[in-house]
Structure 1
């Protein structure tokens, strides 16, 4: 991986998945806390233009969101709200929410998506790192936002549909930008062997058909505390900071920050 040993101002990490239901948003939020707990000033942006839900998962009630920004009612920076005490405290970060469950931004014109991508890049300069939680799938808007990021993390699990849909995302991304080199995290892994089998199959497919072997950024264990946190609408890092999944996510964040591939 060609990642810096620390995050320069404005570095954007996009978190993507080929399909829904792989735990992408929970992972993005937990990564935000993991980075910020190490002192990084961090912004988490809900970039799911169709079915945003970061606010629901974190138990937030924002006064403004991306829909208000795109309609010209507020500036992007005015839609930021602090989570876990705010970015000035360890573990705190800022969030820009989407319009939860409305689908209201799903039909944005390409020029509007371009403006949103540019705005995200600009506001990210006020932070050491921004995490952009993308919509599942590989539609044009999602790919455009992914291309605005410095690094793309593709979330997979051991389900065949997860692997095939993630491959479709990587294929479409590299058609647009042949230098794109998304990293892989295997989430909700039942066992270490299952996780490595899933990554191995995905890597082999990408190598065979795209001539590109994506690097493994990390593995996150299946953990009963994750669905409990979702149902409680509470950050996993706050509800169960010492659970196995959160420990794995902390290791993932450390590896991403240091530019290390998973062992």
Structure 2
């Protein structure tokens, strides 16, 4: 088991060859809104656009990125925390060359890691010598400390919402907590499983009006809408990303366009370099994950 007694001091020098990484945490106020589907397809589409992308499954206790993509990992983050493997041994190569760090499903202790174990993860991530452009983090749903801390640590937070009252209410609650308790000033929004572009835009505007009225100190940016289509349902059944299985489908085109918009974001100017800076920043907020 990783422990602070066996770890070097938490100070990281940025290797000069590694470039700053853009980190995006994908989340949702409630389960069932298609958050993991958006995360996985977005990461794969970014990779297809030439961005060196790593997808981190941060739903530590109920992970399903590997299931969604039909992958069979030999190791997960649970093995890493237990000291059974290295970080490089956890990383899978997924569709279109995207790198994937799978978490464990049904491991309650992974959802309740102690601070010492988080510190161990940081120092293991320090040794990852991979040049990345984008880190996409698929968080759990809800407003647990883990979700909030991942969103606070990332440079950008993307909230997935669908057109049902519980989704809108929970998305608003999540954004309110992120703004008031964690200082998140901007949130990206994707409307998922919509019947038309107009429905997606209307859903965003509904959420934006409520946030502007009752929160005030957070700005929302509309990244786009993903339609519910038969091709998306079929890709899930086949355990494939829709952007790969049916690239001409309405949902795949929408997800690829969202990836194009994300790819145009300016790279971070601070020399954070690669993935350990994301994890280190997460821990140095002083909030238990």
TM-score w.r.t. the length of structure 1 is 0.86
Cα distance change on mapping 1:122 and 1:138 into 2, 3 Å: farther
Q: CA deviation at 1:101?
A: 3.9
1:175 CA displacement? 2.3
TM-score for the superposition, normalised by structure 2: 0.79
1:247 equivalent in alignment to 2:278: no
Q: Helix, strand or coil: the match of 2:83?
A: coil
1:172 to partner: Cα distance: 1.4
1:56 equivalent among 54, 67, 90: 67
From 210, 213, 236, give the equivalent of 2:242.
236
Contact 1:46/1:133 (<8 A) preserved = yes
Instruction: Kindly indicate whether the alpha-carbon contact (under 8 Å) linking 1:53 and 1:101 is maintained by their aligned counterparts in 2.
Output: no
Aligned counterpart in structure 1 of residue 21 of structure 2, from 4, 10, 33: 10
Q: If you compute each CA radius of gyration, which structure gives the higher value, 1 or 2?
A: 2
> In structure 2, what is the equivalent of residue 67 of structure 1?
78
Runs of at least 4 residues of structure 1 off by over 4 A? 113-125
Q: Indicate whether 1:153 and 2:164 are aligned.
A: no
Contiguous gaps of at least 5 residues in structure 1: 1-7, 85-90
- The alpha-carbon distance between structure 1 residues 124 and 144, as it changes in their structure 2 partners (threshold 3 A), is farther
Moved more, 75-84 or 31-40: 75-84
Q: Deviation of residue 75 (structure 1)?
A: 2.5
Aligned residues of 1:113 and 1:141 also touching (Cα < 8 A): no
- Of 118-127 and 13-22, the range deviating more from structure 2: 118-127
Equivalent position to 1:144, from 136, 144, 149: 149
- Does the Cα contact within 8 Å between 2:26 and 2:158 map onto a contact in 1? yes
Distance 1:135 1:202, change over 3 A: same
Deviation (angstroms), 1:165 = 0.8
CA change 1:111–1:157 in 2 (3 A) is farther
Instruction: Please give the alpha-carbon distance, in whole angstroms, between the structure 2 residues aligned to 1:176 and 1:76.
Output: 32
C-alpha deviation, 1:37, in angstroms:
0.7
